Amino acid sequence: VVGAEGSKRIIDKTIDDLLKDPSVTRDKLKVSFASLTLGSGAVAAVLTHSSLSKSCHKLLGGAVRTASQHNGLCRIEADTYFYDLASYPNMSTDYTGILENGVVLAKETWKAFQRELGWNGTDIDKVFSHQVSTVHREVLFHALGLDESKGFSTVEYLGNIASCSLPISLAIGIEEGHVDAGDKVAMMAGGSGLCGIMLGLEW
């Protein structure tokens, strides 16, 4: 499984638009701000059947939920940006709207995740989450009743690498010895759309 995120063109376009606009308002800056926090990265993981694995690590399952009525909270125009290198994207984000509605979706996903795996907050040893901001992480942990000391943060030095944030943070956490054998690990991510996914890993 491979994921990659490149933020340079979005950041360049955002800065260029703001510099060329003679009447930048607080509101325009606010919807552009999230674009300036993006990072770039790539990550890969190998998944295999337990009969072929040389490790004891197990992906146990999880839950996915969506709230597509909020699909307008974060938009990138134009869609050609993803395959046309001559196209420069324009991204606008209602950060407050995503945070407020994302927490509601996270609670719903968390309930489904607990039912699916039979885990609760005290069963979980480590939590790796999508790295949007420190505020986002604090709000998420508080809303789900999770101990923040079980989390692992990389947003301070990697920025928000979108779909790569969680797996890169997990890889760094493993390399730094944050995950021990037998740990129950919760992986939590949310995305524009809105969508939420939570997976359980037994290390």
- The whole-number pLDDT of residue 80 equals 66
> How far apart (Å, rounded) are the C-alpha atoms in residues 119 and 80?
42
- The answer on pLDDT for 87 being more than 90 is no
- The answer on pLDDT for 81 being more than 70 is no
Q: Which two tokens stand for residue 141?
A: 């942990």
- Under DSSP, is residue 7 helix (H, G, I), strand (E, B) or coil? coil
Instruction: Provide the whole-model pTM.
Output: 0.89
- The whole-number pLDDT of residue 46 equals 92
Which CATH architecture fits 2-202?
A: 3-Layer(aba) Sandwich (3.40)
The percent of residues in the chain predicted with pLDDT above 70, rounded, is: 97
The gap from C-alpha 22 to its chain's centroid, in whole angstroms, comes to 34
- The answer on pLDDT for 133 being more than 90 is no
The percent of residues in the chain predicted with pLDDT above 90, rounded, is: 64
Domain ranges of the chain: 2-202
- The answer on pLDDT for 187 being more than 90 is yes
Cβ atoms of 186 and 198 within 8 Å: the answer is yes
> How far apart (Å, rounded) are the C-alpha atoms in residues 172 and 158?
11
> How far apart (Å, rounded) are the C-alpha atoms in residues 202 and 154?
22
Q: CB under 8 Å to 103, separation ≥6 — which residues?
A: 139, 140, 143
